[in-house]
Amino acid sequence: MSRAYRVSWQRASAVVTAEDRLCMELDLLPILPEGEMEALLREALEEAGWRGEGRDLVTELRGAELRLEQGTITATLSETQRVEGRGTSKATAKAQAEARKETTQARMAADVTATLAGLEADIRGALEAVVQRTYVRALERKAARMGEVVSVVESTAEDGTTETTIRVKV
């Protein structure tokens, strides 16, 4: 003879968040006074799609938030995931959810760190183009202060380096 058994399952869940940051100092050559250089950099970043948030500038690159704050670029990447556990009692379900949370946390932390490390070259490339525009504008302003600017010629070599020649009539 068979008997019927009723098994009720309990569920528990937990939220796992992994976050990592990458900080880079952004130092500009003092072609012009510091305030003017910062204004030129801010202008170039806004042209590149950065938006102002108070005194900071912020943009997003492949899921990472980039923030310029007082000469430091901080790239922040975070990921959130929900894990579940189940068991015949609430305690068992909670224990299973916690165990899954720990393993998921370790995996997610490694993934976020690897992704952020992979973004570093893209971040540096984007910043290099903006800083280069800032330097060209600063040099043009400085040349105009020295005398009449006769011509400005910009050229790009095969290796990607940019050369700017400014002729000034003194």
Per-residue pLDDT tens listing for the chain (170 residues): 678 777 788 899 999 999 999 999 999 999 999 999 999 999 999 999 999 998 899 999 989 999 999 889 999 999 999 999 998 889 998 999 999 999 999 999 999 999 999 999 999 988 998 999 999 999 999 999 998 889 888 888 888 788 888 898 88
Tell me whether residue 90 is in a domain.
yes
CB-based burial, 97-136: b 16+ in 10 Å, e otherwise: beebbeebbeebbeebeeebeebeeebeebbeebbebbbb
Residue 81 lies in a domain: yes
Here the tokens at position 65 are: 């938030």
Between CA 91 and CA 97, with CA 94 as vertex, the angle to 5 degrees is 150
Say what the pTM is.
0.77
Rounded CA-CA distance 153/35 in Å is 26
For the chain, the domain total comes to: 1
Residue 157 lies inside a defined structural domain of this protein: yes
Q: Which domain holds residue 30?
A: 10-169
* 3 in any annotated domain: no
| Residue 165 tokens, joined | 């020649």
User: What would the two tokens of residue 62 be?
Assistant: 């492949």
Within a domain: residue 33? yes
Helices 90-146/34-47 angle, 10° precision: 120
Residue 2 lies in a domain: no
What pLDDT score was predicted for residue 2? 77
Q: Has residue 4 been placed in a domain?
A: no
Among residues 2, 20, 17, 11, the alpha carbon closest in space to that of 116 is found at 20
1 part of a folded domain: no
Instruction: Please tell me the predicted confidence (pLDDT) of residue 158.
Output: 85
**Residue 73 and residue 6 in contact, taking contact as beta carbons nearer than 8 Å:** no
